[in-house]
Chains A and B, each alone.
Chain A
């Protein structure tokens, strides 16, 4: 059974550009959540999608957005990139409430 797949693994972007990250959840998992990990702030929740609808949102600016498709795959977009957006972005999928979360390998975004 394939795990959570995130693409690409690494990205280098310039300030002001935008970027799109992709996440394919474990087959059958309909909930997808995104997290940002930085050395200073640790792991912080970005947003959660279920059945193509955003169900929960963390405390991030509107430059961070996402969506989920009918096959449960999710994309995350960051517009007008800032140096502080450099981080490891992790996607997690879950089967149901009360069940565990399973994470992908992450996308390492570097903004220069």
Chain B
């Protein structure tokens, strides 16, 4: 059974800091890993998708890495801004048999607060 853990559970930083969010998973049989952002009461916004064969992906100030063999991923946010305040969720899509696309297993999330 896939289990996903995110550390830390909460993080409060001043504006401008670079920060790292961590995600670990127990089963390396995955299609991909996806990082999401969730604002209070809203849906999930996809930030980055890393395929199982990839090592990292970048989008603007965000960089995500994947080490499938050790079951770890990190999300690096450069020069944080107050608008980055949200909950960040890591999800892995486990490999599945047949025609299933596989389900996403989520971590509990990291609540990020960036203060001016």
A residues near B, CB below 8 A? 4, 6, 31, 33, 35, 42-43, 45, 48, 50-51, 53, 55-56, 58, 88, 90, 92, 94, 96-106, 108
Contact = CB atoms under 8 A, between A and B. Distances in A.
Nearest to A106: B43
Interface of B: 31-32, 34, 36, 41-46, 49, 51, 89, 91, 93, 96, 98-109
B102 to A, nearest CB: 7
A103 B44 contact: yes
A108 B96 CA distance: 29
A33 B104 contact: yes
B98 A55 contact: yes
B103 A50 contact: no
A96 B99 CA distance: 10
A56 B100 contact: yes
Contact of A55 (B42, B101, B104, B107): B101
Please list the 7 inter-chain residue pairs (A to B) with the smallest Cβ-Cβ separation, ordered nearest first: A43-B106, A103-B44, A55-B100, A100-B49, A105-B43, A45-B103, A56-B100
B43 A104 contact: yes
A90 B42 CA distance: 10
